[in-house]
């Protein structure tokens, strides 16, 4: 959809659903990719990859949610896991907000 909107047709492209393979190709200099910050957070934090947010009216932000059953009592380990996941998601949001797109 994004390619069609900008009438862009790359000379070579690969379609793949294996994020590890995609990241390994980019890390080896074999191209660029469009992934979410969640997919590349470790590599961005270590400086291996750069994350440049796409800003466009046609694009909707990725929604990431943590869901639990409303009537279920969570165990202490489950509560701790939720607290950790929430902290990671908040840190991820901060990383994404601090990265300005390139012109």
- Tally: H helices and E strands in the chain: 4, 0
Model confidence pLDDT, tens digit, residues 49-59: 998 888 777 77
Q: Which residues of the chain have pLDDT under 70?
A: 1-2, 96-103
Instruction: Tell me the residue range of the domain where 94 lies.
Output: 2-98
* Residue 17 pLDDT: 92
17 occurs within a structural domain? yes
- State if pTM tops 0.85: no
Q: Which residues of 49-84 are buried (b: 16+ CB within 10 A; e: fewer)?
A: bebeeeeeeeeeeeeeeeeeeeeeeeeeeeeeeeee
How is residue 79 written in tokens? Answer: 């509560």
Number of domains present in the structure of the chain: 1
Model confidence pLDDT, tens digit, residues 60-75: 777 777 788 888 888 9
């Amino acid at each position: 959809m994004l390619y069609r909107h900008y009438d862009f047709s790359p000379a070579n492209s690969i379609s793949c659903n294996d994020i590890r393979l995609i990241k390994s190709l980019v890390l080896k200099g074999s191209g660029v990719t469009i992934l979410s910050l969640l997919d590349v957070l470790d590599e961005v934090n270590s400086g291996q990859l750069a994350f440049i947010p796409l800003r466009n009216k046609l694009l909707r932000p990725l929604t990431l949610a943590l869901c639990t059953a409303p009537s279920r009592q969570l165990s202490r380990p489950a509560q701790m896991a939720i607290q950790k996941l929430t902290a990671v998601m908040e840190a991820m949001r901060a990383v994404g907000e601090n990265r300005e797109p390139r012109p």
